[in-house]
Amino acid sequence: MNNQLVVITASIREELNRFLKERKFSKIALLADENTYKYCFPLLGLSLPEEQIIVIKSGEEQKNLRTCEYIWDKLTNLRLDRKSLLINLGGGVIGDMGGFCAATYKRGISFVQVPTTLLAQVDASVGGKLGIDFHLFKNHIGVFRIPDAVLIDTIFLKTLPNNELRSGFAEVIKHTLIADKSKWDEIRQKSLAQQEWQNLVEHSVLIKKKGYRRRSGRKRIKKNSELWPHNWPCHRKLLSEYTSQKAIAWRGYCDRNDLRGIYINEERLHFTTRTERNKKLYHCNFWKNRNF
């Protein structure tokens, strides 16, 4: 992961054009969903023919073999060869599935991740984990392959609703709890609207690229907080009410010995003290006392 090219830019249009000029590709195709095609594609400034843009429906339920077959069929009809490029414009679903399709089409073609959600920018697009869901199993089929580049611009975050921002912010919180107490102390003092997204994205990407691990409880937190939501199928109804990242953050919080008595304010995803018991808070020990 340390060799992965991750560029955090203030101008995605310039950075993408620079990348395409430096590399010679025989053909280029772009994968997006209906939302990223409408709101994010115009920000790229690419003059691609309509037939070279592959648009799929948004949502985790689309991350399956049926959609992959549709994408592979499009790539085949476009006659993309081994020297072609696929640009994945979207969140985690587009990045995971588009990368998987590129890594398996003709035994692997080049691909670039252009993440458009906060969660994808700080987590899903970094590390080379690609895959799709199979039946009821999340990310059950996949490969590891580093993209040719990950191009990140926080301008895309302006297109997101607050619940999507909060989902990604939970991952940022998890990174600070695992790796940087001072950064946690800094962000907990600000509301969601006051966060400096470019700074936080850079901070999270750095932690991900380092593959942060320690022989302490923090290593256990990272492992448990990543796996727990996906290994709790009997509580799908409860988890469906919240994003996976909120659940991940909650689990990470609850495993910290020094945070056992802290409550979570769901609206801001910030911590509050026991003295604010009367507010609508969620108690970490609810999660801690269960055997997952």
Q: Give the model confidence (pLDDT) of 96-111 as tens digits.
A: 999 999 999 999 999 9
Residue at 200 is within a domain: no
Q: What is the per-residue pLDDT for 178?
A: 86
pLDDT band at 246 (very low <50, low <70, confident <90, very high): low
**Which range marks the domain in which residue 69 is found?**
6-157
- Same domain? For 115 and 174 the reply is no
- Same domain? For 174 and 272 the reply is yes
- Same domain? For 124 and 169 the reply is no
Q: Give the model confidence (pLDDT) of 195-214 as tens digits.
A: 999 999 999 999 887 764 44
Q: What is the mean pLDDT of the chain?
A: 80
Vertex 138: Cα angle to 134 and 87 (nearest 5): 85
pLDDT over 60 (residue 267): no
- Same domain? For 110 and 225 the reply is no
- Same domain? For 263 and 135 the reply is no
The more confidently predicted of residues 241 and 189 is 189
Structure tokens at 17: 């054009």
> Residues for the chain: how many in total?
292
Q: What residues have CB less than 8 Å from 11, skipping those under 6 apart?
A: 153
Q: What residues have CB less than 8 Å from 66, skipping those under 6 apart?
A: none
Vertex 259: Cα angle to 222 and 249 (nearest 5): 40
Q: Tell whether pTM > 0.85.
A: no
The more confidently predicted of residues 23 and 275 is 23
Q: What is the per-residue pLDDT for 132?
A: 98
Q: Residue 86's closest CA among 116, 118, 112, 124?
A: 112
Structure tokens at 259: 């945070």
pLDDT over 70 (residue 56): yes
Residue at 89 is within a domain: yes
pLDDT band at 46 (very low <50, low <70, confident <90, very high): very high
Q: Structural domain tally of the chain?
A: 2
pLDDT over 80 (residue 172): yes
Instruction: Please tell me the distance from the alpha carbon of residue 87 to that of residue 149, in angstroms, as a whole number.
Output: 10
Q: What is the per-residue pLDDT for 243?
A: 53
Mean pLDDT of 261-288: 42
Q: What is the per-residue pLDDT for 4?
A: 81
Mean pLDDT of 157-170: 92
Percentage of the residues of the chain whose pLDDT score is greater than 90: 62
Instruction: Please tell me the distance from the alpha carbon of residue 210 to that of residue 213, in angstroms, as a whole number.
Output: 8
- Same domain? For 132 and 247 the reply is no
- Same domain? For 176 and 272 the reply is yes
Q: What is the per-residue pLDDT for 256?
A: 44
Q: What is the per-residue pLDDT for 258?
A: 42
- Phi first, then psi: give them for residue 87, nearest 5 degrees: -100, 120
Instruction: Please tell me the distance from the alpha carbon of residue 135 to that of residue 150, in angstroms, as a whole number.
Output: 29
Mean pLDDT of 241-270: 46
pLDDT band at 159 (very low <50, low <70, confident <90, very high): very high
The more confidently predicted of residues 181 and 279 is 181
Q: Please give the single-letter amino acid code of residue 204.
A: S
Residue at 263 is within a domain: yes
Q: What is the per-residue pLDDT for 14?
A: 96
Residue at 212 is within a domain: no
pLDDT over 80 (residue 218): no
